[in-house]
Every structure is written in structure tokens, then in C-alpha cells.
């Protein structure tokens, strides 16, 4: 018996080491143009839609009931589709991708419409900008990587300043070679580049580019109809995307431009909200075009 155990021991040790060497599951799930990360809310594990364009984390009303959240006020949430009632819950515990906070204030609202119309699967949590406000993160959408970084080394890529409007961080882009314009850095946008109607009219885009169709859109607040145009070019961090389909956002609070996953997935992204900077490096295998 002793001899048998002695012969088996190296095999058992090799198996244990192999198991320990297995890399952890990627913390980012990419489904179409939507990004999901594991999240723990008040000790309950689930998934969250990653959305840098959300001013705060959102929790579906049904999931909030399961968590037993207590409410501390209410308001109206304004999104790209309009507005809808929202309640707030305080002192919520959130953990995700190196972020951990025990006293987060979250917005609670019915995400049924957004889940069915935009995502195609139930969404319990929308992880907002709190995670990005907490430090530096690396994101490779097509490589399915999202991880917290130290600030010990300079990130690769072109460094761009991050501004802010209405609680959304913005980076400079160019449309059709016009002067730079701030664009929302919106990982929650899984559709076309959005161009606000006010900016489109001021820049003369509607005079140059005919409407080629319409498409329903809009997030929180419901569905709206948007005109579609094809612009000549969109320049982001020196990379030129040609003949880009854009949707005109008619809402009065629309940003000048909003870029989301269809454009950002062509870059390796290092983002640091506290340092007001994003670094964009074109992915080696990425072909020009959105």
C-alpha cells in the first residue's frame, strides 16, 4: 500500500498544480454590443451591465425586492428615451472587478423595458460610473478583459483628456474633419454613434448628409424614433472610421456626440476617471471602420 501511494503521489501533485495554474474565468462577458461583469450586491452574486454613461448604479425593482432594499427618496430618471420614476436606496454593498464599497447609493427602477428592447436578456443591475470613479481600469472588449490597474506604469496608447457634461465623461472626437467636439464615453451604448440634433444642425451635417432611414432607440424613459445619416468620417484618437452610420438624438438634453461599444471595441482602453484621462490604443487585429 505504501508503495502504491508513493507512486501515485507525483500524479496527484501534478493534477493539483495544473488545477491551480488554470487561469480564472474572464471577468467580462460580451454579448453582441453589450458588456457584462460579475457583481455582488449585498452579498448576492449576479451580473451587471457595464455602463460608463450611467451616472450611478441602477438596480431593477424586482431584484431590489429580493435584496430587501429600504428606500430613501424618489425622483425622475432622465435617459436617452425620456424619463421615468426612480427611487433611491442607500448603504448598498457593491463588489465588482476590484471595486468594493459598502455605502453606495443606488437608483431603483423597472428595467423590464430596457432588458427586453435593448439587451435581449434580463438585466438586474446596471453598473454605473462608481466603478470607474474608484481608480484605473483596463478594457479590451474583443479580448473580454476588464481589470483594475495600478498607476505604476504609463498606459499604452494616445492619452486623451476627459471632460464631463451632465455627469457623463467625454473625450474629443472629430466628425467629417470639423473641429473637435466632446463625445460621451458610453459603454452602455450598444448601437450607432449618437449625434445630438442641435449639434448636427449647427455643424451643417443635416444639410450635407441626407436621412437614409429611421430606427427606434432610446434607453431609460422609453422608445423614440431617430433619423439615420451616414457621415463621411469619425476620428477617435487619431483613428479614422469612414462612412459611419449615426443616429440623430432629438431629445433636448442630448450630448453633441455619444460613442459606444461599436466604436470603442476597436481600441485597447485604459481609463482613469479620477485623473481625467483615457488612453486609446488601436487593437492590432481591428480593421478600419465601425
Examine the domain organization and report whether 125 and 177 are in the same domain: no
218 Cβ contact partners less than 8 Å away, ≥ 6 residues apart: 79, 80, 81, 82, 224, 226
pLDDT digits (tens, 9 = 90+) for 40-79: 999 999 999 999 999 999 999 999 999 999 898 877 766 6
Examine the domain organization and report whether 112 and 224 are in the same domain: no
Examine the domain organization and report whether 120 and 183 are in the same domain: no
pLDDT score of 24 more than 70? no
Percent of the chain with pLDDT over 90: 76
Cβ proximity of 27 and 37 under 8 Å: yes
The domain that holds 264 is classified in CATH as: 2.40.70.10
Examine the domain organization and report whether 118 and 205 are in the same domain: no
Examine the domain organization and report whether 172 and 259 are in the same domain: yes
End position of a domain, from candidates 149, 173, 192: 149
Q: List, as one string, the DSSP characters of 171-225.
A: EEEEETTPSPEEEEE-TT--SSEEEEHHHHHHTTHHHHS---EEEEE-STT--EE
Examine the domain organization and report whether 125 and 227 are in the same domain: no
Q: Is residue 74 part of a domain?
A: yes
The structural domain count of the chain equals 2
Q: Is residue 239 part of a domain?
A: yes
Q: Compute the distance between CA of residue 62 and CA of residue 80 in angstroms, rounded to an integer.
A: 22
pLDDT score of 186 more than 60? yes
Q: Is residue 58 part of a domain?
A: yes
Residue 149: its H or E element: strand 145-149
Q: Is residue 15 part of a domain?
A: no
Examine the domain organization and report whether 163 and 275 are in the same domain: yes
The whole domain housing 248 covers 158-282
End position of a domain, from candidates 149, 181, 196: 149
Q: Is residue 93 part of a domain?
A: yes
Q: Is residue 22 part of a domain?
A: no
Q: For position 118, what pLDDT does the model report?
A: 85
Q: For position 117, what pLDDT does the model report?
A: 85
Q: Is residue 66 part of a domain?
A: yes
Examine the domain organization and report whether 206 and 166 are in the same domain: yes
Examine the domain organization and report whether 182 and 272 are in the same domain: yes
Examine the domain organization and report whether 57 and 136 are in the same domain: yes
End position of a domain, from candidates 120, 149, 178: 149
pLDDT score of 213 more than 90? yes
pLDDT digits (tens, 9 = 90+) for 252-278: 889 999 999 999 999 999 999 999 999
Q: Is residue 289 part of a domain?
A: no
Nearest to 37 by CA among 118, 178, 159, 147: 147
Average pLDDT of every residue of the chain: 88
Examine the domain organization and report whether 246 and 181 are in the same domain: yes
Examine the domain organization and report whether 196 and 172 are in the same domain: yes
Amino acid at each position: 500500500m505504501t508503495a502504491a501511494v508513493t507512486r501515485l503521489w507525483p500524479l496527484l501533485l501534478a493534477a493539483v498544480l495544473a488545477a491551480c495554474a488554470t487561469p480564472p474565468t474572464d471577468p467580462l462577458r460580451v454579448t453582441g454590443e453589450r458588456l457584462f461583469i460579475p457583481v455582488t450586491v449585498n452579498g448576492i452574486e449576479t451580473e451587471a451591465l457595464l455602463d460608463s454613461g450611467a451616472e450611478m448604479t441602477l438596480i431593477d425593482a424586482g431584484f431590489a425586492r429580493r435584496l430587501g432594499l429600504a428606500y430613501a427618496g424618489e425622483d425622475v430618471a432622465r435617459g436617452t428615451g425620456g424619463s421615468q420614476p426612480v427611487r433611491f436606496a442607500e448603504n448598498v454593498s457593491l463588489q465588482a472587478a476590484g471595486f468594493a464599497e459598502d455605502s453606495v447609493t443606488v437608483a431603483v427602477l423597472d428595467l423590464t423595458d430596457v432588458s427586453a428592447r435593448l439587451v435581449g436578456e434580463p438585466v438586474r443591475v446596471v453598473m454605473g460610473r462608481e466603478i470607474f470613479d474608484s481608480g484605473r481600469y483596463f478594457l479590451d472588449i474583443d479580448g473580454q478583459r476588464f481589470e483594475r490597474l495600478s498607476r505604476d506604469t504609463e498606459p499604452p496608447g494616445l492619452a486623451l483628456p476627459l471632460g464631463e457634461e451632465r455627469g457623463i465623461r467625454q473625450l474629443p472626437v472629430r466628425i467629417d474633419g470639423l473641429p473637435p467636439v466632446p463625445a460621451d464615453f458610453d459603454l452602455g451604448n450598444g448601437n450607432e454613434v449618437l449625434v445630438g440634433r442641435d449639434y448636427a444642425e449647427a455643424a451643417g451635417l443635416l444639410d450635407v448628409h441626407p436621412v437614409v432611414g429611421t430606427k427606434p432607440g432610446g434607453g431609460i424613459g422609453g422608445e423614440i424614433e431617430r433619423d439615420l445619416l451616414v457621415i463621411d468620417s469619425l476620428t477617435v484618437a487619431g483613428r479614422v472610421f469612414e462612412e459611419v452610420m449615426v443616429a440623430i438624438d432629438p431629445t433636448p438634453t442630448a450630448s453633441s456626440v455619444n460613442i459606444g461599444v461599436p466604436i470603442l471595441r476597436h481600441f485597447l482602453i485604459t481609463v482613469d476617471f479620477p485623473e481625467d484621462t483615457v488612453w486609446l490604443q488601436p487593437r492590432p487585429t481591428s480593421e478600419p471602420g465601425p
